[in-house]
């Protein structure tokens, strides 16, 4: 074929054929609803009760278009053990301020997609101490620092959220929400306590469920249909039902549960059995706590179970209690899930540092 300046021109019939092919291709693209790489929808994080995004508008009198499958990105999730915001228990808060609790993490939680912590105290000025050995009253002014550190979810399903009774518990739920975080595991009723927090992240619908099995010696802390409290208590069937319900609404289900026995360094057989039941019911990640000791992680059916994440924002009562870790879970776009423990150490009261 000639390539010079005076190359022979194509015949007119050839150009007519090119125009016809182009018109047909353009019509097929419109009819089939072609979508380029630059049209990827942007996921927006939201929590339970937030205003949903506006649906896409359609032309009046026409059928709505079939929704295109949303492209999913990878996710990074973190979970921690017990966080205590009681300034009479964490001595460093008076001199260092509440930001100090999160200053040893190098902004880890601000760089991830979702962080869940176990908030081991009532965070309220209301109510009176219930009869028990330890009662923790967190300062509501400490919550903004927790939010600014990158925490999105505070689990209240534990044995200290009810330390100052039902009024303080309900007020704690309100205070956590006002600080821009989602409370789970406790509420004004059992339905509210068991309800998941929902998030839209990188094309994934993520549900977070909080559960509390540690209610002895004060079982009155368990929420009922008409009374505030924490989620489920010893009713494991109710826990499984809550996880199944969350799995029906979400692509990924994260569970944070308070269980086991204090100072244990290994999970009990009943915890392992329950953890497996929860995975079988639809849980994808389990963050556990209560023992005040770091325990191993297990992978069951490709899903990580962190049996106990130990202490996190906590006093330095012992070396064993100061050895801790952050659970990190990575979700691949195709659905693969991988968990690991990031070693950390509480080097001063209320101050965990990544190692």
Instruction: Report the sign of the C-alpha dihedral through residues 307, 160, 176, 342, in that order.
Output: negative
pLDDT confidence of residue 22:
42
Q: From residue 68, how far is each of 30, 45, 46, 49, 204 by CA, in Å? A: 14, 20, 21, 26, 14
Here the tokens at position 217 are 């010696």
CB contact burial 140-175 (16+ within 10 A = b; e otherwise): bebbebbeebbbbbbbbbbbbbbbbbbebbbbbbeb
d(CA 179, CA 149): 12
Task: Quickly state the pLDDT bin for 43 (edges 50, 70, 90).
Answer: very low
In the chain, what percentage of residues exceed pLDDT 70? 80
pLDDT confidence of residue 217:
87
Which pTM does this prediction carry? 0.81
Task: Quickly state the pLDDT bin for 70 (edges 50, 70, 90).
Answer: low
Task: Quickly state the pLDDT bin for 260 (edges 50, 70, 90).
Answer: very high
Tens of pLDDT along 109-127?
A: 999 999 999 999 999 999 9
d(CA 132, CA 241): 31
What are the extents of the domains in the chain?
A: 75-354
In the chain, what percentage of residues exceed pLDDT 90? 79
CB-side neighbour CA atoms (13 Å) of 345? 5
Answer whether 294's CB lies under 8 Å from 266's CB.
Answer: no
Tens of pLDDT along 140-181?
A: 999 999 999 999 999 999 999 999 999 999 999 999 999 999
Summarize the confidence of residues 220-228 as an average pLDDT.
Answer: 98
d(CA 177, CA 160): 18
Answer whether 143's CB lies under 8 Å from 93's CB.
Answer: no
Q: Is 266 helix (H, G, I), strand (E, B) or coil?
A: coil
> Per-residue DSSP letters for 34-88?
---GGGPPPP----TTSPPPPPPP--TTSPPPPPPPPPP--EEEEEEEEE---TT
Summarize the confidence of residues 35-57 as an average pLDDT.
Answer: 31
**Above 70 in pLDDT, residue 17?**
no
Summarize the confidence of residues 44-65 as an average pLDDT.
Answer: 33
Q: Quickly list H helices, the chain.
A: 12-32, 93-96, 143-148, 165-178, 190-194, 236-249, 269-281, 319-322
**Above 50 in pLDDT, residue 41?**
no
Answer whether 228's CB lies under 8 Å from 156's CB.
Answer: no
**Above 90 in pLDDT, residue 35?**
no
For domain 75-354, the CATH class is: alpha beta
Tens of pLDDT along 211-221?
A: 999 999 899 99
Run of H or E residues at 138: strand 137-138
């Amino acid at each position: 074929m000639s390539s010079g300046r005076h190359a022979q021109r194509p015949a007119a019939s050839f150009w007519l054929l090119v125009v016809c092919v182009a018109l047909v291709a353009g019509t097929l693209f419109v009819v089939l609803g072609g979508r380029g790489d630059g049209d990827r929808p942007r996921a927006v994080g939201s929590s339970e009760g937030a205003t949903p995004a506006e649906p896409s508008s359609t032309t009046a009198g026409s059928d709505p278009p079939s929704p295109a499958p949303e492209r999913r990105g990878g996710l990074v999730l973190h979970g921690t053990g017990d966080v205590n915001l009681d300034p009479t228990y964490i001595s460093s808060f008076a001199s260092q301020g509440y930001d100090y609790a999160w200053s040893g993490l190098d902004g880890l939680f601000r760089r991830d997609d979702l962080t869940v912590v176990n908030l081991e105290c009532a965070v309220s000025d209301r109510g009176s101490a219930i009869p028990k050995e330890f009662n923790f009253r967190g300062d509501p002014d400490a919550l903004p620092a927790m939010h600014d550190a990158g925490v999105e979810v505070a689990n209240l399903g534990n044995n200290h959220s009810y330390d100052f009774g039902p009024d303080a518990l309900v007020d704690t739920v309100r205070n956590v929400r006002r600080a821009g975080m989602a409370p789970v595991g406790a509420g004004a009723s059992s339905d509210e306590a068991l309800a998941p927090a929902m998030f839209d992240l990188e094309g994934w619908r993520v549900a977070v469920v909080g559960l509390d099995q540690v209610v002895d010696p004060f079982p009155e802390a368990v929420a009922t249909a008409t009374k505030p409290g924490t989620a489920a208590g010893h009713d494991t069937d109710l826990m499984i039902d809550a996880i199944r319900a969350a799995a029906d609404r979400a692509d990924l289900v994260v569970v944070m549960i308070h269980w086991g026995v204090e100072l244990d360094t290994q999970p009990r057989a009943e915890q392992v059995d329950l953890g497996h039941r929860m995975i079988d019911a639809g849980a994808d990640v389990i963050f556990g706590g209560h023992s005040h000791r770091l325990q191993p992680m297990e992978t069951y059916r490709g899903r990580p179970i962190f049996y106990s994440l130990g202490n996190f924002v906590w006093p330095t009562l012992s070396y064993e209690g100061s050895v801790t870790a952050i659970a990190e879970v990575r979700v691949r776009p195709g659905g693969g899930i991988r968990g690991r423990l990031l070693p950390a150490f509480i080097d001063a009261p209320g101050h965990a540092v990544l190692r």
